[in-house]
Structure 1
């Protein structure tokens, strides 16, 4: 018997594991809890830091401690023993490595679907999204995000569609649902001058009695008598590190925590309660670009939304807060023992993300100008050869990364930057890592130490006393 046959037929059979599809095997190994306890939660706030590897959570906490003198609220929930902590398996129906659509659908529809699908099974059948269930049960519901509101994570809680890429269609799918709050980016999916079909989706929402907010001031002045659609950017919202140093962004674009606070205010007095999904979506976008400053400051901004949710739940006593991520991405980490503290502290001097830097490069930008731009925006001086290498990629525009329409050299800048910050990346893609999961408030006692992502669907229903 050759070695691989021994492994295939001997070792695995001795462990009692059959060679079936990987996600099916996970389903056999990690069966859902048999608990049928019904919780007493009136409200649910489900917070997702999209694409957050464990290293991202660690480094954001380190940066927060060293820069602001305070640990992250997420970590403090563990330290203070206020949250139930679990590990979560994030696989989709067709891969150990999920995408955001399949992962959100696991929570939203309670079943694993193939990557790219939103609550649509391989046979074409649909799984009813959880916000539709809660809306039909009489609760107010909503989603807020830092990426387009039509993007995969909010959509997985709201609608069914065979393709996450059909965002113009998803914008129209939201309309008849009459959800109470929908806020994020994505003007290009609602604006008739930007849609290929020229449909004025804003006008349709206004006709359906929605308040439309396109600035932070308009959002803050919204009343709870009507539902609200808030769209604050053409595509995604700006990275936090860039917004912190741009007065125009600060005046016009709400932060994730500001959207969270306003949404809670708009829904908290509803007699039947509310369910809210909050997504820090640009954590994932930064990871796909190996953009460490974009990543860490957006993770800190997400944590500020967690803080506001916990603050409300502590006073309210009737709110289940779930904090997690849909999958890892890039697996960044702080490495090296020599001068790693001093190098990591360089992030305290950053004013801009890698995205901002690379988009500022013009055809006539010289190596000296690029060196000066990076030193001003990020606090370190690259070499003349490194500057020339970066600029050479603007001739061929061959850069990778999922959210990189211009094919800019994100990967190269990330590698160069690692030498100055001691933060290194493993990839520009999602990972199959098990991820952090925390729960606070009524219903958190239903959480097992290790869960399959689909189990959160029934947990939320059970926590509020709805029939599964």
Structure 2
């Protein structure tokens, strides 16, 4: 997909009472009993998507292009089903992504930080391993590192989500059919502590390794498993790629990866199951980065449209669209003109501050923000931001200087009208949408672990 067509292609044990409400003792069923309905599963995750994120992305698309996002269109046209989903982990009302994905992937609530490992140290078998053993093709696609918590929660068991080098090694023997994302540093010999060249190991094990967008687009159905890793770290924010021709040429979009993955996986007559994650939504929420947040949500929505188009043609594919938890709970509190500034944003806050090697002057910072986002902050506001520059005492997830980004976002609220409740995950119930065979069985309220057995039931795959 050409990024210039970004908007034009395509048409969301802490307390005893906690365990009673959300644990295995609850007898109600979220889904109606039904025999096999779907051959394929596409499980889509906008990581860290608060309801306000979905709302504002839809508002932005409406005002910029006069159309709804694909997720909201499912609701408006009543072609999909909708529910709320609770998101707690085993030991906290506020989950992290590892426990959140493990709830779907392993069917049990595990402690935060764990990947399909229970509090007593026992393992829950990840769902893609179950689908693979049943003869289906399986895979994961993400806009962050392929070894990150959300894809890993469908794939492996590990006590620590942070050991991404070990997770990269764990993937090797699984021979999953298609894995795509970032995270080259966990495969490169010069970046790994053990100096193992994992890319070479994957090739020796029979994988096709793809390292660029062109290599990804050229992939054919060769019956060989594919490991596609297109950059170190996460993929760049969607907004920042618009002004960078090199990024557009070398790194695929989430929609492009989704389209290629579905093309490859769908060759299996026994069907497939795949998880597709818009992971940078969560990263932007952690740094209160409105441009990064909304344009990556829209990039995720373009991947949704690819999945929905496939399912509409195929008639045997169930598409599940959700998030693992809310994050930062952003919302629009200002006027239309303020919000409309987002239509002309060129760069994210990460580009404004995260790519600076030295402290700028107030004039340079004002000029940089105006170039990136189209408004000029006051000198006094620039001085407040720069007073936080170099302060590393409070690091946030995926950013080195939490106070710096918090200060910038607080000032931006006066210009964009977008406010934030915090910089961390929330315990909100979240959106869950479904399209395709089996979606009609969805009830209005679901706990996260129930999706595990639901996917197995809909495809008649054994739960053991």
Task: Flag the 1:161–1:244 CA change in 2: closer, same or farther, 3 A.
Answer: same
Task: Flag the 1:137–1:193 CA change in 2: closer, same or farther, 3 A.
Answer: same
Q: Measure, in 2, the Cα distance between the counterparts of 1:407 and 1:191.
A: 29
2:179 aligns to what? Answer: 182
2:283 aligns to what? Answer: 285
Q: TM-score, length-normalised on structure 1?
A: 0.93
1:143 aligns to what? Answer: 140
1:25 aligns to what? Answer: 21
1:73 aligns to what? Answer: 70
Q: Measure, in 2, the Cα distance between the counterparts of 1:81 and 1:314.
A: 14
Which digits, 9 at most, give the CA deviation of each residue in 1:414-460, with x for residues without a partner?
A: 11111100000001000000000011111212322111100000110
Q: TM-score, length-normalised on structure 2?
A: 0.94
1:53 aligns to what? Answer: 50
Q: Measure, in 2, the Cα distance between the counterparts of 1:443 and 1:430.
A: 30
Q: Measure, in 2, the Cα distance between the counterparts of 1:161 and 1:48.
A: 21
Alignment check: 8 A CA contact 1:358 1:408 kept: no
Q: Measure, in 2, the Cα distance between the counterparts of 1:331 and 1:31.
A: 29
SS at match of 2:248: helix
Q: Measure, in 2, the Cα distance between the counterparts of 1:396 and 1:331.
A: 25
**Do structure 1's residue 154 and structure 2's residue 151 form an aligned pair?**
yes
Q: Measure, in 2, the Cα distance between the counterparts of 1:364 and 1:239.
A: 23
1:9 aligns to what? Answer: none
Q: Measure, in 2, the Cα distance between the counterparts of 1:105 and 1:92.
A: 9
Which digits, 9 at most, give the CA deviation of each residue in 1:380-426, with x for residues without a partner?
A: 11111111221222243345421113557111111111110000000
Q: Measure, in 1, the Cα distance between the counterparts of 2:186 and 2:216.
A: 19
* 456-465 or 33-42, larger mean C-alpha shift: 33-42
Deviation at 1:26, TM superposition (A): 2.7
Alignment check: 8 A CA contact 2:177 2:225 kept: yes
Which digits, 9 at most, give the CA deviation of each residue in 1:185-211, with x for residues without a partner?
A: 101100111111111110110011111
Q: Measure, in 1, the Cα distance between the counterparts of 2:26 and 2:123.
A: 26
Trace 1:77-226 onto structure 2 (pairs within 5 A).
Answer: 77-225=74-222, 226=224
Q: Measure, in 1, the Cα distance between the counterparts of 2:35 and 2:48.
A: 31
Q: Measure, in 2, the Cα distance between the counterparts of 1:251 and 1:438.
A: 33
* Runs of 4+ off more than 4 Å: none
The one of 293, 296, 299 equivalent to 2:294 is 296
Q: Measure, in 2, the Cα distance between the counterparts of 1:190 and 1:445.
A: 42
Q: Measure, in 1, the Cα distance between the counterparts of 2:284 and 2:308.
A: 26
Alignment check: 8 A CA contact 1:401 1:410 kept: no
SS at match of 2:44: strand
2:448 aligns to what? Answer: 453
Alignment check: 8 A CA contact 1:361 1:370 kept: no
SS at match of 1:142: strand
2:382 aligns to what? Answer: 387
Q: Measure, in 1, the Cα distance between the counterparts of 2:398 and 2:336.
A: 30
The one of 295, 315, 318 equivalent to 1:317 is 315
Alignment check: 8 A CA contact 1:107 1:454 kept: yes
Deviation at 1:467, TM superposition (A): 2.6
1:4 aligns to what? Answer: none
Alignment check: 8 A CA contact 1:399 1:411 kept: no
Alignment check: 8 A CA contact 1:45 1:309 kept: yes
Deviation at 1:251, TM superposition (A): 0.3
Alignment check: 8 A CA contact 2:131 2:273 kept: yes
Which digits, 9 at most, give the CA deviation of each residue in 1:108-167, with x for residues without a partner?
A: 000000000000001110000000000000000000000000000000000000110111
Q: Measure, in 2, the Cα distance between the counterparts of 1:424 and 1:401.
A: 18
**Count of residues paired in the alignment:** 447
1:410 aligns to what? Answer: 405
Q: Measure, in 2, the Cα distance between the counterparts of 1:301 and 1:33.
A: 30
Listed as ranges, the gaps of 5+ residues in structure 2 are: 1-14
1:242 aligns to what? Answer: 240
**Do structure 1's residue 355 and structure 2's residue 350 form an aligned pair?**
yes
**Do structure 1's residue 431 and structure 2's residue 429 form an aligned pair?**
no
Q: Measure, in 2, the Cα distance between the counterparts of 1:408 and 1:373.
A: 19
Deviation at 1:238, TM superposition (A): 0.4
Q: Measure, in 2, the Cα distance between the counterparts of 1:334 and 1:33.
A: 32
Listed as ranges, the gaps of 5+ residues in structure 1 are: 1-18
Q: RMSD between aligned alpha carbons? A: 1.4
Alignment check: 8 A CA contact 1:90 1:434 kept: yes
Q: Measure, in 2, the Cα distance between the counterparts of 1:41 and 1:235.
A: 35
Q: Measure, in 1, the Cα distance between the counterparts of 2:363 and 2:454.
A: 57
